[in-house]
Amino acid sequence: MKSIQQPRSLVAIIALLTVVVACGTSLSLRKKLECHRGCYCSLFKRERVVMRCSLFNLTGKPLPTPPKQSKNLNTSIYLENGTIPALLHNTLSEYSHYRIVILSLKNNTIRNIYKHAFSRMRYLQTLDLSENFIAEDILKESFYGIAMTPIKELNISSMNLTNVSDDFFEHLENITNVRLTFRNNTSEFPRDALQGLRHLTDLDFGGNRLKAINLGNASFPSLQTLSFDNNHFYEFPNLCSSSIFPNLKHLSIQWNGMRYLDRNYYSCLKNLTNFYLNGNLFPELKSNQFSMLPYIYKITLSYVGCAMHTIERAVFNNSALKQIFFRKNRIWFREAEIDMRVFEGCPSLELLNLNDNVFQVTTEIEFNTLFGDLTNLKTLVMGGNGLQSIPQVITRKLTSIKSLALYRNSISDLKPNTFENMTKLKKLFLANNEISTIDKQSLPKDLKQFEMFGNPLSCTCDMMWFVDWMRKDPETFGFHKTPQNKVLYNCSSPVIVKGVQLLDLKMSEISCLMDQDVKIITLTFSTLLTVFLVTGAVMYRYRWHIRYLIYMVRYSQRQEVDTADYEYDAFVAYSAPDRHWVIRNMLPVLEGKENFKLCVHDRDFEVGKLIVDNIVDAIEASRKIIIVLSNSFAQSDWCRFELNLIQRHVLENGQRLLVVVMLEEIDTRHMTKAMRAMLQTTTYLMWGEEEYARKAFFNRLRMLLRSPTRNAGKRRLSV
């Protein structure tokens, strides 16, 4: 017991040290500072100070003083959700002595701001005035002092600015590289007011009530990021009426409920790299929807599937495209109007997210059409797709993938060497599937991250290697991030360990080896039983062949030289259905006209004698053997047995003894190996109903039956 407890103690010590190190790291990243009463101050990485204050009332009182470290370090101050009636000319004067780069005055009931209130803040880069109800003319004048700061980001959202004047931003016209957030529930785009901000680089105009925009001859030459999220556009706004956004790189028009996506309205955005279209109601996506964007890098078209009924071929056709997010659309990728070549023309695609679409009935051929050309793909996400197995095209062709996510599916089995071609795979996510056991050979080598929780794991000895791996390398399974997640790695079977966490599972190598011995013994007896049953079945199946061998042993002791006269010129072997043909066609010619003596079993076999003995005696007493071959002959077990006896006799006495008559073409289903060999090595006569065919048939048959000296009865066995 002592030897067992020591490793556990070691694990506990390592876990404790991990917690200590983690806490120490956290403390080194964040340190609490002495702060103004009612506020919380901290130091991050010894290079940035943060002060947060809320629910305060500063009516007639000075603003909270930052920590002394703020004089030498960049400082962020958040004075939010309190009461600051006004910002007078000296309200912020104390802050001029500190390196304040971020100042948030959000939701403080501010109604008045003095013109020069911010003019002394020499380091201010981000200012948030949102959720204060400041009159337009007062706010406009406050921009005068803001323009004297190195401002880079200004938020004036939720301030009831529904209709601003054309000169609203006149004091900010000379500032450069600024981001403006303007979410004010306005229904009209302030084109003329914003046009004065020619150096504006980022504009967030989401959360308004725009249904359309009229840009006229406006121009925003410096704008790189534009957002119209959460407006009321019915169709995509025309951004190409003139050269309005020549340098736009990021465009977001999400959650507008748009029904129409006209490529001509954004085709002019030649520098666009990121295009966000989530949450709209497009009924269709057309071919080459984005092909005109030469530098496009990322497209998101998620949450758009509830109204979509048509997806054409090569929608995303663009050699520059690197990332596609097409998730949460619930699209059935097998419907008639959904073209499986939707990703055709994307040779550079590296990331594809298809979460929560439906591939439950998609075939391997269709998967190959969908993914076959995406050979540069590095990340593929297919969670919640109804997959019952991993599509083969992924594991065989998409060998550049580094991260593969297949969680929330119905995958139940990982076959050995499943990922043998995916040599670059480092992250594999298979959580919440139906996998019970994992073969060590089925996983790729050198996995850095592997998630398997939420599967009905069978905690048998076959999983011992997996448990050892989890204990040895818990970081691979994410335990270092959220240790409590280990409860999701529970045993589902056998019943005795159901609900037990894998890391708490007690399995020893000795007990598993004992189980292995039992398995070997069971397997051995099962194998012997199987061999016995199979042998019996084979003997029954080939009982005629065995019987043939027995009779061959009985007649194997024959003399090498046969000196007796032959009783018959030929023995005729035929099936019962062909008896009429033998009597009507063959006997009248060969016996009536040609005076050959034939042995036919209906007439010449000795009554009371075993049929097998009759056959053997008839063969021995005949100079030639005629086989009348037909489909009925090929299907008869007795005829097959008779054929085996004849072929053995022919092998011993020479191929010249055999004459094959083909009454009809033999169906390949009835052809045995013996018949096929006989037809390949023996020239046969084909019966025909025409008069000339009959004459030719009997002429050849007569020549084959005629001996060099008609009545010569002695012959040598040719072995």
Is 550 buried (19+), middle (13-18) or exposed (0-12) by CB count in 10 A? exposed
Cα 11 from Cα 176, distance rounded (Å):
57
In a domain, residue 691? The reply is yes
Q: What type of residue sits at position 16?
A: L
Residue 126: closest CA among 72, 65, 161, 74? 74
**Is the bond preceding residue 237 a cis peptide, omega within 30 degrees?**
no
Residue-level pLDDT at 96: 92
Residue 72: closest CA among 90, 109, 55, 47? 47
In a domain, residue 429? The reply is no
Strands (E) across 160-224 are located at 178-181, 200-204
In a domain, residue 637? The reply is yes
In this structure, which long-range contacts are made by residues 337-340, counting pairs with CB atoms below 8 Å and at least 24 apart in sequence?
337/309, 337/310, 337/311, 338/310, 338/311, 339/311, 339/312, 339/313, 340/366, 340/369, 340/370
Residue 53: closest CA among 72, 77, 86? 77
50 alpha carbon, distance to own chain's centre: 45
- By residue count, the chain amounts to 719
In a domain, residue 187? The reply is no
Q: What is the CA radius of gyration of the chain?
A: 46
In a domain, residue 405? The reply is no
Cα 469 from Cα 440, distance rounded (Å):
11
Cα 173 from Cα 195, distance rounded (Å):
9
Cα 654 from Cα 719, distance rounded (Å):
7
In a domain, residue 616? The reply is yes
- What are the two backbone dihedrals, phi and then psi, of residue 22, each rounded to the nearest 5 degrees? -65, -45
In a domain, residue 403? The reply is no
Question: Which of 124, 139, 160 represents a domain boundary (last residue)?
Answer: 160
Alpha carbon distances (Å) from 583 to 589, 635, 638: 10, 21, 20
Helix (H) or strand (E) holding 554: helix 543-554
Cα 335 from Cα 313, distance rounded (Å):
13
Question: Which of 160, 176, 194 represents a domain boundary (last residue)?
Answer: 160
Q: ∠72-76-78 over CA atoms, to 5°?
A: 145
- Which domain, by its residues, includes 564? 545-716
In a domain, residue 310? The reply is no
Weakly modelled stretches of the chain, pLDDT under 50: 1-28, 485-486, 514, 543-545, 547-548, 551-563, 708-719
Instruction: Output the domain CATH number for residue 587.
Output: 3.40.50.10140
Q: Tell me the two tokens of residue 366.
A: 């269709």
Residue-level pLDDT at 518: 59
Question: Which of 160, 194, 223 represents a domain boundary (last residue)?
Answer: 160
Three-state SS for 440-490 is HHHCCCCCCEEECCCCCEECCHHHHHHHHHHHHCHHHHCCCCCHHHHHHCE
Instruction: Output the domain CATH number for residue 96.
Output: 3.80.10.10
Q: How many domains does the chain have?
A: 2
Any bridge partners for residue 128, and if so which?
104, 155
